[in-house]
Structure 1
């Protein structure tokens, strides 16, 4: 398939899958329960954090997280007590356990009280066109308060080679516009052109079959390689193609 034909094919698939029906089976439905900016940010971050495994299980467990916070995540983060955190006992999603969940709440409180919130903290501030350093610095701040070393594995670091799939997915949710009702577009200080495709097994395999990705590992170098083509296809909104690659892999078994 020629590049022009491939772009046209992916444009059609991106348009096909980016609609309200996509939300019904995707973890993005969790932040869609809220209208307050900070509620959307926090609900989205927590849902994205546990977004690995079967989608139904992710959605169920993310819903439990919201219920444990009284379905008011921002208020809970700022005003929770130790007794409130005690109610988390028994929560687990794969390797993300009660202690991890408690720490995430405490760290988010520190971020909103002392670092102006998630939008500010994840901004690109090094003059680059990518989130590599931004995500790395975000992780440093996230773990600046006392924590268990084991919890660090739940926030990835592209400087160490990770594709940072879940954070890149979260950034897509917050930054891309909401014209089609899927992503939110509430982070006006970020630039859609700088986003990266959330690279997982599905998107990676489809990208390789379409020959827009050659690297075998799903790591940050693969992200950089994929960026080149997707930004060539649409320099202002390269990550719209996440819907195409994911839809082809999950829904069409491409």
Structure 2
């Protein structure tokens, strides 16, 4: 396919998958349970962080998390007591357990009380057009309070060449306004042109088949290569193509 044909093909797949039906099978359904901005942010962030493995299990465990947070995650984050944290002791999702969830609750409390919330702390504060350094700085703030070393691995660092798939997915949810009701477009202080594709096995394999990505590893260098090529197709909303790549990989076995 030439560039024009590729764009037409992928644009058709975006229309096919970037619609409300997508929500039914995707972890993004969890933040869609809420209407308050901060509840959507926190539910989205915690759901994205455990989004690896079986999607049915991700959704089930994310729902459990929300129940443990009294289905009012922002209020729980701000006002929990040490007694309230005991309810988290039975939580586990693969290698993310109650110790990690408790740490996340405490770190999020610090971010909302002392740093203006997730929208503020994840914003790009340099002249770059990617979130690479922003995510790195976010991790430093996230763990500036007393923390368990075991929990460090659950926030990726792109400056250490991690693809940061889960945080990039969360950023897509918050920043893109897709006009169809899937991504939220809550963060008006952010620019969707700066988003990076949440690179995983499915999107990576499809991108390579379509010659959008040559690098074999799914790391930040691959993210940067894919960014460059997707921005040639749509410089204002490059990450809409995540729907096309993911849909082709998961639903069509492309």
What is the SS of the residue equivalent to 1:182?
coil
In 1, the alpha carbon distance for the partners of 2:116 and 2:251 equals 39
Quickly say closer, same or farther: Cα 1:2–1:178, change in 2 above 3 A: closer
Q: TM-score w.r.t. structure 2 length? A: 0.99
In 1, the alpha carbon distance for the partners of 2:109 and 2:228 equals 37
Encode CA deviations 1:3-23: one digit per residue, 9 max, x unaligned.
110011000001110011100
Q: CA deviation at 1:89?
A: 1.1
Encode CA deviations 1:92-121: one digit per residue, 9 max, x unaligned.
000000000000000000000000000000
In 1, the alpha carbon distance for the partners of 2:113 and 2:20 equals 34
What is the SS of the residue equivalent to 1:167?
helix
What is the SS of the residue equivalent to 1:108?
helix
Aligned residue in 2 for 1:108: 108
Is 1:166 matched up with 2:174? no
What is the SS of the residue equivalent to 1:179?
coil
Q: CA deviation at 1:127?
A: 1.2
Q: CA deviation at 1:182?
A: 0.1
What is the SS of the residue equivalent to 2:167?
helix
Aligned residue in 1 for 2:213: 213
Aligned residue in 2 for 1:149: 149
Aligned residue in 2 for 1:27: 27
Q: CA deviation at 1:90?
A: 1.6
Q: CA deviation at 1:178?
A: 4.3
In 1, the alpha carbon distance for the partners of 2:207 and 2:251 equals 15
In 1, the alpha carbon distance for the partners of 2:212 and 2:116 equals 38
Q: CA deviation at 1:163?
A: 0.3
In 2, the alpha carbon distance for the partners of 1:160 and 1:178 equals 31
Q: TM-score w.r.t. structure 1 length? A: 0.99
Q: CA deviation at 1:184?
A: 0.2
Is 1:140 matched up with 2:131? no
Aligned residue in 2 for 1:89: 89
In 1, the alpha carbon distance for the partners of 2:20 and 2:160 equals 35
What is the SS of the residue equivalent to 1:89?
helix
Please list every run of 5 or more consecutive structure 1 residues that lacks an aligned counterpart in the other structure.
none
Aligned residue in 2 for 1:182: 182
Is 1:55 matched up with 2:55? yes
Encode CA deviations 1:182-230: one digit per residue, 9 max, x unaligned.
0000000000000000000000000001111000000000001001110
In 1, the alpha carbon distance for the partners of 2:16 and 2:104 equals 35
What is the SS of the residue equivalent to 2:88?
coil
What is the SS of the residue equivalent to 1:53?
coil
Is 1:69 matched up with 2:43? no
Runs of 4+ with >4 A deviation:
none
Aligned residue in 1 for 2:245: 245
